[in-house]
């Protein structure tokens, strides 16, 4: 007997919206910055690697269930040893995880060379073994995030059915193969095919960069929810914009929210991180953000090639560019922000 779907539905028809795990981009800094803006219903932590010599207590310490409270944060595990994956899942459950996601999608050669990530898609029977071990080890829901195949999609149906057979509550599908990397367009037709094959829900992921993309994926695939990764780095307001569409309201991004987003990102950088690394991280974030606006795109290379040694100095350089050229942010919000700055200066004279 099938359990009730884990994915809730918004009354106005808006799909459940998830912030995707993204290696190298979607770390704690980014998640906290996005949570300061909000709009998404749930986030998935970037994967926690479970190596052959895994020290389970150390892995458990990498996950904090209340990191984004009140927004839930799922734990994602990546490994190829069924027993260790099961033990890691139990550790995440003891840390308060509400959901465990099994990574069957990472295309990194370092990962796949160790038999993890999208390597699990080479053998549906092994995918079944790993998935079953995790599902049977915990009482909380388990899900799987997968690609459409390793070298090709020849085992696509077999992998889907194996994943379903594990007892996971739903599958998130990024419809590119490992060989595709992030290059060719995501094949949304495969999400539609997965919906026709499976009895459990399917979350659509891949190439959702705009509200229009989100609506088109829903129309073409009939998927049960949306997971957005790169689109949220380019436009951190995308979740609010999607929800506004279904609410038949106009969403006006606020300058104060954008300022807070960048400030939180800077504040959450590890204090022991080298200053040069902090500057590089901020450049990465700004590089994505400047991609999302035709006006800002002209200044992207200037920002990326700048020689600032402190991330705060880089931010001081970028903010006037954002203020002058960003369209769609509330001017009244900018005035309110400036007023707050003035009040802060009066209360805390330098």
Residues tagged active-site: 106
Helix, strand, coil shares of the chain, percent, nearest 5, are 50, 15, 40
The C-alpha atoms of residue 43 and residue 34 are separated, in whole angstroms, by: 10
The C-alpha atoms of residue 254 and residue 5 are separated, in whole angstroms, by: 35
Answer yes or no: are the C-beta atoms of 228 and 20 closer than 8 Å: yes
The residue assigned the tokens 């705060």 is 312
Nearest alpha-carbon partner for 32 in 268, 210, 316, 197: 268
Nearest alpha-carbon partner for 125 in 153, 163, 154: 163
The C-alpha atoms of residue 207 and residue 217 are separated, in whole angstroms, by: 9
Which tokens is 139 given? Answer: 């009482």
Nearest alpha-carbon partner for 143 in 16, 30, 23: 16
Burial 140-154 (b: 16+ CB within 10 A, else e): bbbbbbbbbbbeebe
Q: What is the DSSP annotation of 249-289? A: -----BHHHHHHHHHHHHHTS-TTS-HHHHHHHHHHHHHHH
* Secondary structure letter of residue 296 according to DSSP: H
Q: Rounded to the nearest 5 degrees, what angle is found at the Cα of 55, between the Cα atoms of 49 and 57?
A: 100
Nearest alpha-carbon partner for 238 in 222, 227, 224, 223: 227
The C-alpha atoms of residue 202 and residue 216 are separated, in whole angstroms, by: 16
Which tokens is 46 given? Answer: 């970037």
């Amino acid at each position: 007997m099938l359990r009730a779907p884990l994915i809730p539905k918004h009354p106005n028809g808006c799909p459940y919206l998830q912030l995707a795990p993204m290696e190298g981009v979607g770390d704690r800094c980014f998640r906290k910055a996005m949570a300061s803006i909000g709009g998404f219903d749930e986030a998935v932590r970037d994967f926690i690697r479970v190596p052959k010599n895994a020290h389970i207590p150390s892995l458990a310490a990498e996950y904090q269930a209340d990191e984004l409270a009140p927004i839930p944060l799922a734990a994602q595990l990546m490994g190829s040893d069924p027993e260790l994956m099961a033990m890691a899942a139990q550790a995440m459950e003891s840390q308060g995880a509400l959901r465990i996601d099994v990574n069957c999608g990472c295309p990194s050669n370092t990962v796949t060379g160790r038999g993890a990530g999208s390597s699990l898609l080479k053998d549906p029977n092994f995918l079944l073994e790993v998935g079953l071990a995790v599902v049977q080890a915990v009482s909380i829901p388990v899900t799987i995030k997968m690609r459409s195949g390793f070298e090709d999609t020849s085992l696509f149906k077999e992998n889907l059915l194996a994943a379903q057979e594990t007892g996971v509550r739903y599958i998130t599908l990024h419809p590119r193969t490992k060989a595709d990397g992030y290059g060719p367009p995501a094949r949304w037709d495969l999400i539609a095919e997965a919906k026709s094959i499976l009895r459990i829900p399917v979350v659509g992921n891949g190439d959702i960069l705009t509200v229009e993309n989100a609506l088109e994926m829903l129309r073409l695939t009939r998927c049960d929810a949306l997971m957005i990764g790169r689109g949220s780095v380019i436009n951190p307001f995308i979740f609010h914009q999607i929800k506004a569409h279904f609410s038949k309201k106009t969403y006006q991004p606020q300058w104060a929210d954008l300022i807070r987003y960048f400030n939180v990102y800077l504040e959450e950088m590890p204090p022991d991180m080298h200053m040069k690394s902090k500057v590089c991280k901020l450049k990465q974030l700004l590089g994505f953000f400047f991609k999302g606006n035709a006006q800002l795109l002209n200044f992207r290379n200037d920002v990326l090639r700048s020689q600032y040694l402190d991330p705060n100095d880089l931010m001081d350089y970028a903010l006037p560019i954002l203020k002058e050229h960003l369209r769609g942010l509330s001017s009244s919000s900018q005035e309110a922000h400036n007023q707050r700055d003035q009040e802060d200066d009066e209360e805390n004279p330098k």
